[in-house]
Amino acid sequence: MSGPQATARAIDAMRRGWPVAIAGASGVLTLLAIESADPVRLAAFDTEGSAGVLLSAGRAATLKLANQREAAVPDAPVLVARVAWLNFAAATALADPQFDLATPMKGPFRAIAVPVADAAAAALRLARIAGILPAFFVIEGGQDADNTHALSIADIDAHEDAGRLAIATRARLPIAHAEDAEIVAFRTPEAAGEHVALLIGAPDGRPPLVRLHSECLTGDVLGSLKCDCGPQLDAALAAMVADGWGILLYLRQEGRGIGLVNKLRAYALQDQGFDTVDANTRLGFAVDARDFGVAARMLALLKQDRIRLLTNNPAKVAALEAAGVEVVERVPHALPANAHNARYLATKRDRTGHQL
Ligand SMILES: Nc1nc2c(ncn2[C@@H]2O[C@H](COP(=O)(O)OP(=O)(O)OP(=O)(O)O)[C@@H](O)[C@H]2O)c(=O)[nH]1
Ligand SMILES: [Zn+2]
């Protein structure tokens, strides 16, 4: 088995607490995700008690481990050497930041060179795709003699490739804002999330007014006041109706690409006082893990290569332009703050370059 199928199986295995082997340029790493493991699984995985703990650069920096490495490469994964007291509970404390403030760290821990760096980085990527904490027990080498079951990095790339995205179906969808709206559903064979586009009004020769909306269950469905997603979604649809021709892309990139559970972990850290940027970093994720290439591909399938984009986020403009979509105009999309999201909006302005 190879390619996207192998990746799908590996993602499933990670969520179930089963080991996964990844082949890199210089060898194989066999990994057990800490979040879904337990002491019994760990003992079966690591019979010699030698497995190290693999963390992301951001998590290691939070734990003050990153600067121990010689010739530290920014953003490179960090391996914590196994010592006697690094048992399952201690590894969980390394993996999960929710107890950072409550539980003073044990240790000392020592960061050592990661043996197969590209496979380690790929493992962290897979954790994000699987929606689990990016932290693993890791053993160098494969568990079967010929490594035939090791996932390749090309397999993971194929899984994330939006090139196979295609229109699955389309239908009329009368919505409160526009009774003549049309919904278009997109699918890749590999990824579970099905993106949709909502077409509002009718093409009139002008570039459509487009909104890239990333899924936010809490804001879109539950009316969360912690973010601005719900009001932005509503205002985007209203703006398209007023304009006469627009396309809303609803992208299944919950939590800026880290998934619902990890976003809610970030919320728990925000309850402890960390902002949206630091919360992601403490968890071990990029501040923004989204790939807007998928939006460019959707626009291409809808035959739109020139758009007006509703956003305050210059990174969205840059990503679309890089993927061949001409953004002829950026239309600001700021909404009034409330008591719960004021700090979040200020952080976006001050730390992530949003033009608010
Ligand atoms: N990880 C994380 N994701 C969040 C947080 N708050 C909101 N989100 C997610 O952020 C995404 C919404 O971002 P967007 O509305 O596209 O906003 P943006 O990138 O700031 O850009 P514009 O709104 O276009 O200016 C959704 O996927 C939300 O689930 C948070 O504190 N942490
Ligand atoms: Zn939101």
Flag whether 179 is marked binding. Answer: no
Whether pLDDT at 73 is above 80:
no
Q: Which of 122, 84, 123 minimizes the C-alpha distance to 106?
A: 84
Q: Which two tokens stand for residue 24?
A: 């890199």
pLDDT given at position 65: 86
73's tokens: 């490469």
Reported confidence tier of residue 149, pLDDT bands at 50, 70, 90: confident
Look at residues 329, 177, 190 and name the one whose alpha carbon lies nearest to residue 248: 177
Residue 52 token pair: 């190290």
Q: Shortest CA distance to 186 belongs to which of 260, 250, 237?
A: 250
Tens digits of residue pLDDT in 24-39: 999 999 999 999 999 9
Measuring CA to CA, how many Å separate 69 from each of 66, 77, 123, 282, 340? 6, 11, 20, 19, 39
Report whether residue 265 contacts ligand 1, using a CB cutoff of 6 Å: no
Is the model more confident about 302 or about 70? 302
Average pLDDT over residues 104-112: 81
- Indicate the pLDDT class of residue 169, thresholds 50, 70 and 90: very high
Which residues, other chains included, contact 302 with Cβ-Cβ below 8 Å and sequence gap of 6+?
184, 197, 199, 247
**Residue 245 phi/psi, 5° resolution?**
-155, 110
CA–CA separation, 145 vs 11, rounded Å? Answer: 22
More confident: 256 or 66: 256
The confidence band for 225, taking pLDDT boundaries of 50, 70 and 90, is: very high
Q: Residue 189 has what pLDDT?
A: 83
User: Reduced to 3 states, what is the DSSP secondary structure of residue 38?
Assistant: coil
Global pTM exceeds 0.80: yes
Count of all residues that appear for the chain in the document? 356
What pLDDT, on a 0 to 100 scale, did the predictor assign at position 148? 63
Mean pLDDT of 116-126: 96
Instruction: Share the mean pLDDT of the chain.
Output: 93
**pLDDT > 70: percent of the chain:** 94
CB-CB contact of 93 with 103 (8 Å): yes
The span from the CA of 236 to the CA of 242, in Å, is 10
Please name the residue whose Cα sits nearest to atom 20 of ligand 1. Answer: 313
What's 131-152 look like in SS3? CCCCEEEEEECCCCCCCCCCEE
Whether 354 has a binding-site annotation, put simply, is: no
Q: Is the pLDDT of residue 4 over 80?
A: no
Q: In percent, how much of the chain has pLDDT > 90?
A: 81
What the block records as the tokens of 25 is 């340029």
Q: Which long-range contacts (CB under 8 A, 24 or more apart) does 161-170 make?
A: 161/188, 161/190, 162/188, 162/291, 162/293, 162/294, 162/296, 162/297, 163/297, 164/188, 164/189, 164/190, 165/195, 165/294, 165/297, 165/298, 165/301, 166/301, 167/301, 168/194
157 C-alpha to ligand 2 centroid (Å)? 28
Residue 69: per-residue pLDDT: 55
- Which residue's alpha carbon is at the smallest distance from atom 24 of ligand 1? 311
Position 107 scores a pLDDT of 77
From the CA of 72, how far away is ligand 2's center (Å)? 35
* 190 vs 339, more confident: 339
By most ligand atoms within 8 Å of CB, the mutation choice from 209, 226, 229, 232 for ligand 1 is 229
Residue type at 121 in one-letter notation: A
Residues annotated as part of the active site: 288, 290
According to the model, what pLDDT value does residue 130 have?
95
- The alpha carbon of 214 and the centre of ligand 2 are apart by a number of angstroms equal to 8
- Residue 85 predicted with pLDDT over 90: no
Provide the pLDDT for residue 321: 98
Q: Which of 35-49, 52-66, 97-111 has the lowest mean pLDDT?
A: 97-111
